[in-house]
Amino acid sequence: MRSEAAIVHEAGAPFSIEPIELEAPRASEVLVRMEAVGICHTDLIARDGDYPCPLPLVCGHEGVGIVEEVGAAVRKVAPGDRVLLSYWSCGHCQNCRSAAEPYCDQMFQVNFGGAREDGTSPISQDGRPVHGNFMGQSSFARHAVADERTVVKLTSALPPELLAPLACGVQTGAGAVANALRPRVGAALAIFGAGAVGLSALAMAVVAGCSPIVVVDVVPSRLELARSLGATDVVDASAEDPVVAIQAATGGGAQYSLEVAGRPEVLRQAVDCLRETGECVLVGAAAYGAEFTLDMTTVLRGRGVRGTIMGDSIADVFVPTLVALVESGRLPIDRLVTTYPFEQIDEAAAASLDGTAIKPVLVFA
Ligand SMILES: [Zn+2]
Ligand SMILES: [Zn+2]
């Protein structure tokens, strides 16, 4: 079928909305008409060449839409269902079979490799393939073909623009707390980065009973928002040393920290701000090959560092939990979202980068 997608032709170039040809869904795939799609940091990393994704490419990995067609073997959803498109996993490697799907052996190869597991793309232009299957979906498009393992059925009456961010940003931040950290009630948490992922982590930390919760950023409006969402302390890292400020706010150091900025120097701070036995979880994605340094004695004294992808979430299990939290007002996504028509994808991406929009969501007319 013919549709339209935002294509990246060259690293760092703007998105270009152009006609595409989309294959019919294969036996395990579904065709989804997109209603909304969030813009996430990883889309911009891929656009700008910081991830080695092949071009031309259709990004987009926070899609919400209506199933229009299903392959013969699809059991999870039917035409007419609203679905969230989250991430692809193979389902048959050791980690997939151990309920660790974000750590699928093929996670990076397939979700960022521009093709399905067999190397093909469902997208083409004038007979030439365009790389697709980005995070199993390539949803910066009016229609997407996705494997049923990528989709989560939604039954919520919430508007699509409030559901889209659950696919990656919110799932990643909230899951980093609920699934990766599993904090003790009353434990001190420091969050470095008050974008959509960090603020989702904050909302989940409030639900989990962390206290104090210190949020670090350099954008005053984001710090104000963090305070209104439940941060007990906020730190402007452009004005004071966040390690010293966190040690003061927590009486000697945080038990837990989340690095959501994806920057080596911030990861160092997120470890240095911990008390002995504290745990740091790295959430932010850096450019491929980025390295960081730590003081070995600091780590030796009982501190731990690990990373998390997609908040350690099994989307089919965790997304319904997130939907319930949004519906009950405890995950106030409406305070994070700014909507743009699909045609304004470049303006939305720019607003994400300069901090004026926390979670831009594209809506399809
Ligand atoms: Zn796998
Ligand atoms: Zn993402």
Does an H or E element contain 7, and which?
Answer: strand 2-8
Cα 24 to middle of ligand 2, angstroms: 26
Cα 296 to middle of ligand 2, angstroms: 31
63 in Cβ contact with 145 (< 8 Å): no
Q: Which ligand is nearest to the CA of 102?
A: 1
Would you place residue 287 in the very low, low, confident or very high pLDDT band (cuts 50, 70, 90)? Answer: confident
Indicate the pTM of the whole model.
Answer: 0.95
Average pLDDT over residues 107-127: 95
Of 351, 358, 350, 354, residue with least CA distance to 14:
350
- Which residues on adjacent β-strands are paired with residue 58? 7
Cα 40 to middle of ligand 2, angstroms: 5
Whole-number pLDDT of residue 120? 97
Cα 98 to middle of ligand 1, angstroms: 9
Cα 94 to middle of ligand 1, angstroms: 7
Any residues with CB less than 8 A from the CB of 133 and at least 6 apart, and which? Answer: 88, 110, 111, 113, 114, 115, 116, 121, 122, 146
DSSP one-letter string for 191-212? EE--SHHHHHHHHHHHHHT-SS
Q: What is the mean pLDDT of the chain?
A: 97
For 11-35, write each residue's pLDDT tens digit: 999 999 999 999 999 999 999 999 9
Cα 306 to middle of ligand 1, angstroms: 20
- Which residues on adjacent β-strands are paired with residue 65? 34, 83
Average pLDDT over residues 148-170: 97
For 303-325, write each residue's pLDDT tens digit: 999 999 999 999 999 999 999 99
For 233-270, write each residue's pLDDT tens digit: 999 999 999 999 999 999 999 999 999 999 999 999 99
Cα 364 to middle of ligand 2, angstroms: 19
d(CA 47, CA 281) in angstroms, rounded, equals: 26
Q: Which is it for strands 304-307 and 274-282: parallel, antiparallel or unpaired?
A: parallel
Q: Which ligand is nearest to the CA of 170?
A: 2
Average pLDDT over residues 357-363: 97
d(CA 224, CA 249) in angstroms, rounded, equals: 17
Q: Which ligand is nearest to the CA of 117?
A: 1
pLDDT value at 355 more than 90? no
Does an H or E element contain 304, and which?
Answer: strand 304-307
Cα 252 to middle of ligand 2, angstroms: 33
pLDDT value at 186 more than 90? yes
Q: Which domains does the chain have, with CATH numbers?
A: 2-167+332-363 (3.90.180.10), 173-309 (3.40.50.720)
For 204-242, write each residue's pLDDT tens digit: 999 999 999 999 999 999 999 999 999 999 999 999 999
